[in-house]
Amino acid sequence: MSTRPSETALPRSGIAVKDLTVTYRNGHTALTDVSFEIPIGTITALVGVNGSGKSTLFKAIMGFVPLARGSVSILGEPSGRARNRNAVAYVPQAEEVDWNFPVLVEDVVMMGRYGHMNMFRIASRRDRELVGTALDRVGMADFRKRQIGELSGGQKKRVFLARALAQEGRVILLDEPFTGVDVTTEEAIVQLLRDLREEGRVMLVSTHNLGSVPEFCDRAILVNRTLLAAGPTEEVFTRANLERAFGGVLRHFVLGGTDLHDDADTRQVTVITDDERPFVFYGEEGVDGAASRSSPSAPDAPSGRRDEDAGSGVSGN
């Protein structure tokens, strides 16, 4: 039976991680036996407590840290080969960037083109066009001559996203792109990620905004030094899995009974948050929230019972 060329040319797997273990030079094993697969044309959330190994996973995919065991393949080929042809773009956490380095916004975005240039790094017309298009797409064209260090946190994030776009990477890794950005910027970034998904790209996004994950991520990966769960968001984002992932660091509120109702309605609202956007479950008392919705804002002080001692294994911080 013959296979059409397009079927062989287009890999279906975006990122495939198999039995990955990462041990740092000081002997600390940050991730053990992690395996998952992400299809192309999807956005996947990477969720876990501080220190659970999210950045380590990004660094392993980028080849910045050696793998003690296991393998990473990207778009159906070994990760090193995919990186060499600039298929993978990385948007680091803000803390990992030296903002005092005197460089213009347009130069930062041009860095995304370096891998496509020869050793003299002379930008072609196409390189300049791609930089302009990328800045337009993130709404930062008016800032192209500004020093990167003079921008706000959200603007810096958008510039680094533009750098990833200019690189034309099919796979984009974003390490906490929403930290320190306002809601408008977050919505703009989410819309851009949706557009990129439509273009058939693959995005892996680490975030503490639990509430926004079901809004825009098709899939989710929960980690805590190993893989806890991976798959479609509606299957992974269950109350039981989130409690397993966040254990004692989540704030967990349950509103029910007379706090919520004037009648005998037994339905209750459970709010789970690590102090960014909360994740909200609606349902019957004692039923794990398979059906869920998210709330757009963090509750400063919900009027209900704080469920620290309710035997759920979850406590406030």
Ligand X SMILES: Nc1ncnc2c1ncn2[C@@H]1O[C@H](COP(=O)(O)OP(=O)(O)OP(=O)(O)O)[C@@H](O)[C@H]1O
Which one, 95 or 150, has the nearer CB to ligand X?
A: 95
Task: Please give the single-letter amino acid code of residue 134.
Answer: A
Q: Which residue from 72, 75, 73, 71 is spatially nearest to 9, judged by alpha carbons?
A: 75
Which one, 53 or 289, has the nearer CB to ligand X?
A: 53
Of 10-29, which residues contact ligand X (CB under 6 A)?
Answer: 24, 26, 28
Cβ contacts of residue 312 below 8 Å, gap of 6+? 243, 252
State in angstroms the smallest separation of the CB of 97 from ligand X.
Answer: 14
State in angstroms the smallest separation of the CB of 100 from ligand X.
Answer: 22
Asked whether position 30 contacts ligand X by CB under 6 A, the answer is yes
Which one, 52 or 209, has the nearer CB to ligand X?
A: 52
Task: Please give the single-letter amino acid code of residue 85.
Answer: R
Q: Which residue from 203, 195, 189 is spatially nearest to 161, judged by alpha carbons?
A: 189
Cβ contacts of residue 176 below 8 Å, gap of 6+? 93, 94, 206, 207, 208
State in angstroms the smallest separation of the CB of 309 from ligand X.
Answer: 27
Asked whether position 211 contacts ligand X by CB under 6 A, the answer is no
Whether 281 and 260 have beta carbons less than 8 Å apart is answered as no
State in angstroms the smallest separation of the CB of 272 from ligand X.
Answer: 17
Task: Pick the binder of ligand X from 20, 42, 47, 54 (CB under 6 A).
Answer: 54
Of 34-53, which residues contact ligand X (CB under 6 A)?
Answer: 48, 50-53
Asked whether position 76 contacts ligand X by CB under 6 A, the answer is no
Which one, 48 or 154, has the nearer CB to ligand X?
A: 48
Whether 150 and 172 have beta carbons less than 8 Å apart is answered as no
Which one, 62 or 104, has the nearer CB to ligand X?
A: 62
Asked whether position 56 contacts ligand X by CB under 6 A, the answer is yes
Asked whether position 55 contacts ligand X by CB under 6 A, the answer is yes
State in angstroms the smallest separation of the CB of 285 from ligand X.
Answer: 33
Helix-helix angle 153-167:183-198, to 10 degrees: 10
What are the phi and psi torsion angles at 303 (to 5°)?
A: -80, 0
State in angstroms the smallest separation of the CB of 52 from ligand X.
Answer: 4
State in angstroms the smallest separation of the CB of 259 from ligand X.
Answer: 32
Q: Which residue has the tokens 């001692």?
A: 309
Buried b / exposed e across 248-286, counting CB within 10 Å, b at 16+?
Answer: eebbbbbbbeeeeeeeeeeebbbbbbbeebbbbbebeee
User: Which residues would be at the binding site for ligand X (CB under 6 A)?
Assistant: 24, 26, 28, 30, 48, 50-56
